[in-house]
Amino acid sequence: MSIGESVKRVDAYEKVTGRAKYTDDLCPRNALIAKVLHSTIANGWVKKLEIDEALKVKGVVKIVTCFDVPNYPFPTAGHPWSTDPKHQDVADRLLLNQRVRYYGDDIAAVIAEDEVAATKALSLIEVTYEELPPILDPKEVLASDTQPLHTAYPNNILAHTNYEVGNYKEAAKDTDLIWFEDEYATQIVQHCHIEPPVSFAYEENHRITVVSSTQIPHIMRRVISQALGIPFGKIRVIKPYIGGGFGNKQDVLYEPLNAFLCTQVGGKCVKLEISREETFHCTRTRHSISFKVKSGVRKDGRIVCRSMEAISNQGAYASHGHAIVANAVTGFRHIYQAEKAVKADAYTVFTNLPAGGAMRGYGIPQLAFASEAQMDDIAYKLNLDPIEIRKQNMMKLGYKDPFLGITCHSSGLEECIEKGRHYIDWDNKLKAYQNQTGPIRRGVGMAIFSYKTGVYPISLETASCRMILNQDGSIQIQLGATEIGQGADTVFSQMAADTIGLTLDRINIVSQQDTDITPFDTGAYASRQTYVSGMAVKETATLFKEKVIAYASYFLKLPSSNLDIKHNAIVHRTTNEVLIGMDALALEAFYSLDYCQHITAEKTIQCKNNTLSFGACFVEIEVDMPLAKIKVLDIINVHDSGVLINPQLAAAQVHGGMSMGLGYGLSEQLLFDAKGKPLNPNLLDYKLPTSMDTPDLMTDFVETVDPSGPYGNKSLGEPPAIPVAPALRNALLHATGVAVNDIPLNPHILFEKFRAHGLI
């Protein structure tokens, strides 16, 4: 057995020793260097670009401006594409833009022999703008007429959707209801992956090859095709090891531009690496979303009806667009089940800020902050235990979404809550920390969540896997599913070994994806890979095993029904007698004069199922009110992610997500001035938590067996980032009695809140 064991990562040695090759490591030393010129206004038009002086810089090869690029609007979101137009993303990007929509928009590019020449040339380009007032607040867009950023959306509303389950108007007539109506807001943050977006592109045999740090190589191939107006088959995308993405690299960023630039210099290799500052505001961000939440509740805490209005600040371009806030309001009806009715309205609004895209949790961290904060507000005002009100209202086993059909096939949520409750000593500390006085106080808080596994039925879910027998009895595995640091290659290897009957050392997985060679997969996002791509691994491994046994049946002159594979050998199914080793059988299969067969297996699956994972976060904090500072004393995340394929990797995933959640809740925020210019696009001024800010991160699991998962497993990659921020907020409420309805909970916000409540 390999599944369920904490085996060492298959890429551990390469990464620890530095032998792993990332995109920049592979770039030829003689590659030309490209740099992008970004707009210095947030809204308006480029009227003129003076490039003569820049062209005089020694080493400059070519300058391409927004007036030189093809007029092929293209989408950038790493969504599964479909031939159904309703499942195609908004095509609102050009390679370079005359119409400026945010501070930092791409308006020209320099190609030079080295970085010094490219940077100097950028500084010599003179730009003449026609400037318009920037639109920064979505509420301003909804309240009045504003200048359209995209002609297809004259009111700057990308989308508005709503739903209603039950009859809200009738349910709200109940005179026994106690009403709670609150507003909550989350901020813009950035992914802050270690490796910045980087690619290099060149032409070979009349085809363009792009080597890129991306989560979505097969989707990228399609987008480059659309952006350049050339056939899919003329493009090859290669993804080496990747230094983190967290959803930012689930967008196609600068690769289409880089592909075009290489065609402008005779197909020579062009490298385009985005700086940290550019990464902050010229790639993608997590959407800020404002919420209005209204709940009608009985005095015992039972929610009878609920409503939500959510307004998402999309920024300048559609990217993943309305999918983020739509996912948030879907989560609103999932985690808590109103007795009679629930309804929601969701708006996605264009503004002159960096485009919001995918980021770990895909709208659910924002939703969880609002929903979980109100649950605590209700609990404290009704004098109820925050845990008990959640247990009364939360999703139960067997729940089926009325619109999507997604079903709760397994749930360990109540057990997760109980484990966290016991760890944090909830019952005693909840009482002990009541009615505190003095400048330093303590509190405990908690939050829960649910999260889908993959994107079905909203989008296409498909994956393929290929397995090839080697002459020594080991196997090669190729998947389009991408390893981005989360450990996917390791769990896929464990799945294959377990299904076939081999030890893990006989599994050789190809980590690099190459669209010319690698089977199709839409990529790493939506916590889908162990679930969806795992199905492809299981089916391919089953087919591969059948083919090996069929050959062994011929060679051994025994019925296939009598044979099995265990511990790298063909064995008798009932007696477990070793009949022949896989190595010896493989040699026969390759080189037999009698019957030679090259054994391979490949399967494509289309997943038409989904399931829900769950979890809870519990924290204990200390609040220094004069300093307006929160210190996290203890924290635990407890997750139900079905069967754990690799417990150690699972814990590592949770640690990473908790760290992101701490930053989201306490310190991180991308700030802009009144003209839309970013104020802190660097790792000094953008306050990521460091090791000095991070307590010991505790994790635990409740293992359920999900019948829909290929190995009983379900989503884990994104969920750990979801519940931390609301748990911190609720602990602050418990410690001080102050309900803070927007994040981050940094000293600037807390000082004003404490002063308004007379605490300092």
pLDDT tens per residue, range 199-221: 999 999 999 999 999 999 999 99
Minimal CA–CA distance to 79: which of 339, 574, 455? 455
d(C-alpha 150, C-alpha 558), whole Å: 69
Q: What is the DSSP letter of 692?
A: G
Amino acid, single-letter form, for residue 724 = V
Q: What is the DSSP letter of 279?
A: H
Mean pLDDT, residues 590-614: 97
Cα 642-646-652 angle, rounded to 5 deg: 95
Per-residue burial over 395-410, b = 16 or more CB atoms within 10 Å of its CB, e = otherwise: beeebebeeeebbbbb
d(C-alpha 500, C-alpha 129), whole Å: 63
Indicate whether 86 pLDDT > 90: no
> For residue 572, what are the β-bridge partners?
563
CA-to-CA dists, residue 609 to 137, 219, 409, 461, 712, angstroms: 38, 22, 10, 9, 13
Largest CA distance in the chain: 91
Beta strand 44-50 with 99-100 is antiparallel
Q: What's the pLDDT tens digit per position in 94-109?
A: 999 999 999 999 999 9
| pLDDT of 1 | 75
Indicate whether 8 pLDDT > 90: yes
Q: Tell me whether the CATH fold assigned to 13-132+197-273 matches the one assigned to 288-456+609-756.
A: no
Amino acid, single-letter form, for residue 636 = I
Q: What's the pLDDT tens digit per position in 142-154?
A: 998 899 999 999 9
> Helices (H) and strands (E) in the chain — how many of each?
20, 27
Domain range list for the chain: 13-132+197-273, 288-456+609-756, 462-606
The three-state secondary structure class of 691 is helix
| pLDDT of 399 | 97
Residue 159's region, left for phi above 0, alpha for psi from -120 to 50, else beta, is beta
| Cβ contacts of 385 within 8 Å, gap of 6 or more | 379, 430
Q: Using 50, 70 and 90 to split pLDDT, how confident is the model at 368? A: very high
The alpha carbon of residue 542 and the mean position of all alpha carbons in its chain are separated, in whole angstroms, by 30
| 581 contacts 548 by C-beta, under 8 angstroms | no
pTM of the model: 0.97
Q: What's the pLDDT tens digit per position in 636-657?
A: 999 999 999 999 999 999 999 9
| pLDDT of 87 | 87
- Tokens 């070994």 belong to residue: 497
Strand residue runs (E) in 382-461: 440-452
d(C-alpha 732, C-alpha 631), whole Å: 10
Minimal CA–CA distance to 430: which of 441, 444, 419? 444
> For residue 38, what are the β-bridge partners?
106
Strand residue runs (E) in 659-715: 698-701
| 623 contacts 443 by C-beta, under 8 angstroms | yes
Q: Using 50, 70 and 90 to split pLDDT, how confident is the model at 119? A: very high
| pLDDT of 157 | 98
Q: What is the mean pLDDT of the chain?
A: 97
The three-state secondary structure class of 119 is helix
Indicate whether 661 pLDDT > 80: yes
Give the helix/strand (H/E) hosting 523.
none
The three-state secondary structure class of 118 is helix
Establish how many alpha carbons lie within 13 A of residue 104's alpha carbon, considering only the half-sphere containing its beta carbon: 23
| pLDDT of 198 | 98
Give the helix/strand (H/E) hosting 656.
helix 647-666
Other Cβ atoms closer than 10 A to 14: 14
d(C-alpha 78, C-alpha 365), whole Å: 20
| 57 contacts 124 by C-beta, under 8 angstroms | yes
The CATH class given to the 462-606 domain equals alpha beta
d(C-alpha 495, C-alpha 499), whole Å: 6
Which contacts (CB < 8 Å, 24+ apart) does range 265-268 have? Answer: 265/32, 265/61, 265/62, 265/111, 266/203, 267/202, 267/203, 267/204, 267/208, 268/31, 268/32, 268/202, 268/203
Residue 44 has which token pair?
């308006």
Strand residue runs (E) in 217-282: 235-239, 270-273
Other Cβ atoms closer than 10 A to 155: 13
Give the helix/strand (H/E) hosting 555.
helix 534-556
Amino acid, single-letter form, for residue 403 = F
| Cβ contacts of 354 within 8 Å, gap of 6 or more | 102, 104, 188, 281, 282, 283, 284, 285, 315, 316, 670, 678
Minimal CA–CA distance to 250: which of 315, 324, 186, 200? 324
- Tokens 């093809």 belong to residue: 70
Per-residue burial over 580-592, b = 16 or more CB atoms within 10 Å of its CB, e = otherwise: bebeebbebbeee
In the 3-class helix/strand/coil scheme, how is 74-104 assigned residue by residue? ECCECCCCCCCHHHCCCCCECCCCCEECCCC
Radius of gyration of the chain measured on its C-alpha atoms = 27
Mean pLDDT, residues 730-735: 98
Total length of the chain: 760
Indicate whether 39 pLDDT > 90: yes
- Residue 457: asked if its preceding bond is cis (omega within 30°), the reply is yes
> For residue 435, what are the β-bridge partners?
none
Instruction: State the first-to-last Cα distance of the chain, in angstroms, to the nearest integer.
Output: 59
Mean pLDDT, residues 591-600: 97
| pLDDT of 759 | 92
| 199 contacts 217 by C-beta, under 8 angstroms | no
Other Cβ atoms closer than 10 A to 187: 21
Indicate whether 696 pLDDT > 90: yes
Which CATH number is associated with domain 288-456+609-756?
3.30.365.10
d(C-alpha 685, C-alpha 415), whole Å: 40
User: Has domain 13-132+197-273 been given CATH number 3.90.1170.50?
Assistant: yes
Residue 736 has which token pair?
């001080």
Mean pLDDT, residues 525-539: 96
Residue 653 has which token pair?
């995933």
Indicate whether 329 pLDDT > 90: yes
Q: What is the DSSP letter of 590?
A: H
Indicate whether 511 pLDDT > 80: yes
| pLDDT of 435 | 87
- Tokens 């300058």 belong to residue: 63
The alpha carbon of residue 541 and the mean position of all alpha carbons in its chain are separated, in whole angstroms, by 28
Q: What is the DSSP letter of 533?
A: I
Mean pLDDT, residues 625-631: 97
Residue 194 has which token pair?
């270690």
CA-to-CA dists, residue 309 to 341, 349, 532, 744, angstroms: 15, 13, 32, 21
d(C-alpha 522, C-alpha 239), whole Å: 13
Residue 558 has which token pair?
């025994």
Minimal CA–CA distance to 247: which of 721, 743, 694? 721
Other Cβ atoms closer than 10 A to 130: 12
